[in-house]
Amino acid sequence: MIEMEHVTKRFDGGGTAVDDLTLEIPQGVTVALVGPSGCGKTTTMRMINRLIEPSEGRITVNGEDVRSVDPVIFRRHIGYVIQQVGLFSHMTIAQNIGSVPKLLGWSADKIKARNEELIALVGLDQSMLTRYPRQLSGGQRQRVGVARALAADPPVLLMDEPFGAIDPIARTRLQNEFRQILQGVNKTVVMVTHDIDEAVRMGDRIAIMRAGKIVQYDTPDEILSRPVDAFVEDFVGADRALKRLSLYEVSKVMQPGVDPAAAAKIAPDADLRNALSAMIAANTDRLAVVNAAGAPVGTVTRDAITAL
Ligand SMILES: Nc1ncnc2c1ncn2[C@@H]1O[C@H](COP(=O)(O)OP(=O)(O)OP(=O)(O)O)[C@@H](O)[C@H]1O
């Protein structure tokens, strides 16, 4: 659990980057901070691990005031993933992932076992452990960055534009995979992104920021269905109704029985945006839902989707 209470940051010679911000992030929840360039997202996140000190206000992590602990020691207990990954180029992947556990005094055997566990968790082959960062693709390096951030099992993970340097196709896949990984490890995660689609895909909650303040802090569904003002409405985009459909799977609105009039097919775990798209493409108002084994399991109609 992270609590920020009336936090303000003024930079010397600059304006107010973060302005009386209050935010509570429950244990195990992923929050995406989004907003236009310069709105204070990165400053907000970096105050949590004390890379930036607040001018005013209080921040606690699991009840402990972040100012009460030595910042260097404290940071070893907070995972941090950045866009450029920041892997140590002269170290192997194993040494990179094991760097914080080593600082924490873990035994070589324990580090080795943890490395093997993490490389599998992020979907890479064990043979990668003996390579150097330059011998990996950008997406593979990003996976290693996440493995390294998780190494000492920190309760909190901070991610600063973690997929910024990845091409759009690999990016969507990584976002979906990481969402599943993060759900499995029960971490409190704060991620900064300027990409509302990424926030919708990854966040349990989204905090939309403007000029150092949070204008809306809600679930993706609420943000997309009920933006609080014209700024949020504009920021989430004119296609917000379609974005919202991408949050849900066909199985959510599927009706039992296969309608003989259903001309085209869709999988139960396809998202509703794709289902609607398939209906438009096939010029129909219903699809047969067919499972991975090819067996029909139900029907999804256009009315059921639009009623959501
Ligand atoms: N070290 C600094 N000194 C002075 N001003 C700063 C400093 N760091 C950030 N700022 C200013 O604080 C404001 C918020 O910056 P911040 O990096 O938090 O924004 P951001 O929302 O993360 O932006 P972006 O999406 O462009 O990365 C900006 O106006 C920025 O110019």
Q: What is the pLDDT of residues 106-136, one digit of tens each?
A: 999 999 999 999 998 888 999 999 999 999 9
Asked if residue 288 and residue 220 are part of one domain, the reply reads no
Percent of residues in the chain assigned helix, strand, coil, to nearest 5: 40, 25, 35
Could you give the percent of the chain with pLDDT greater than 90?
63
Residue 74: helix, strand or coil by DSSP? helix
Asked if residue 176 and residue 240 are part of one domain, the reply reads yes
Residue 61: helix, strand or coil by DSSP? strand
d(Cα 76, Cα 101) in Å, to the nearest integer?
Answer: 9
Asked if residue 262 and residue 169 are part of one domain, the reply reads no
pTM confidence score: 0.87
Between 251 and 172, the higher pLDDT residue: 251
Predicted pLDDT of residue 259: 78
Predicted pLDDT of residue 308: 87
Let me know if 282 is exposed, middle or buried by CB neighbors in 10 A (0-12, 13-18, 19+). Answer: middle
Number of helices (H), then strands (E), in the chain: 14, 13
Asked if residue 96 and residue 194 are part of one domain, the reply reads yes
Asked if residue 148 and residue 257 are part of one domain, the reply reads no
Q: In whole numbers, what is the pLDDT of the chain averaged over residues? A: 91
Predicted pLDDT of residue 84: 66
* 127 contacts 140 by C-beta, under 8 angstroms: no
The protein residue with its alpha carbon nearest to ligand 1, atom 12, reads 17
Q: What is the CATH number of the domain that holds 78?
A: 3.40.50.300
DSSP codes joined into one string, 256-291: SS--TT--EEE-TTSBHHHHHHHHHHHT-SEEEEE-
Mutation choice for ligand 1 from 9, 21, 42, 192, CB with most ligand atoms inside 8 A:
42
d(Cα 223, Cα 275) in Å, to the nearest integer?
Answer: 22
Asked if residue 256 and residue 195 are part of one domain, the reply reads no
d(Cα 275, Cα 250) in Å, to the nearest integer?
Answer: 7
Asked if residue 56 and residue 135 are part of one domain, the reply reads yes
Ligand 1 atom closest to the Cα of residue 192 is 22
User: 138-150 and 168-185 are packed helices; what angle lies between their axes, rounded to 10 degrees?
Assistant: 20
Domain boundary among 227, 244, 261: 244
Range of the domain at 276: 250-306
Cβ of 96: how many Cβ atoms within 10 Å?
25
pLDDT average, residue stretch 25-32: 94
Q: In angstroms, what is the span from residue 191 Cα to ligand 1's centroid? A: 16
- Total domains in the chain come to 2
Asked if residue 206 and residue 220 are part of one domain, the reply reads yes
Asked if residue 266 and residue 123 are part of one domain, the reply reads no
Q: What is the pLDDT of residues 55-72, one digit of tens each?
A: 999 999 989 899 888 888
The protein residue with its alpha carbon nearest to ligand 1, atom 5, reads 14
Q: Is the pLDDT of residue 261 over 90?
A: no
Asked if residue 255 and residue 154 are part of one domain, the reply reads no
Q: What is the pLDDT of residues 193-249, one digit of tens each?
A: 988 999 999 999 999 999 999 999 999 999 999 999 999 999 999 899 999 999 999
* 274 contacts 266 by C-beta, under 8 angstroms: yes
Predicted pLDDT of residue 35: 94
Residue 144: helix, strand or coil by DSSP? helix
- For residue 207, give both structure tokens: 């905090």
Predicted pLDDT of residue 43: 96
* Ligand 1 proximity of 11 Cβ (cutoff 6 Å): yes
Asked if residue 210 and residue 229 are part of one domain, the reply reads yes
- Rg of the chain over Cα atoms, rounded to whole angstroms, equals 22
Q: Is the pLDDT of residue 273 over 90?
A: yes
Predicted pLDDT of residue 170: 75
Confidence of residue 104 (pLDDT cuts 50, 70, 90): confident
Confidence of residue 85 (pLDDT cuts 50, 70, 90): low
Q: In angstroms, what is the span from residue 199 Cα to ligand 1's centroid? A: 20
Asked if residue 54 and residue 116 are part of one domain, the reply reads yes
The protein residue with its alpha carbon nearest to ligand 1, atom 18, reads 40
* Ligand 1 proximity of 17 Cβ (cutoff 6 Å): yes
Predicted pLDDT of residue 162: 82
pLDDT average, residue stretch 142-160: 88
Q: Is the pLDDT of residue 169 over 80?
A: no
Ligand 1 atom closest to the Cα of residue 209 is 21
Q: In angstroms, what is the span from residue 114 Cα to ligand 1's centroid? A: 36
Ligand 1 atom closest to the Cα of residue 13 is 4
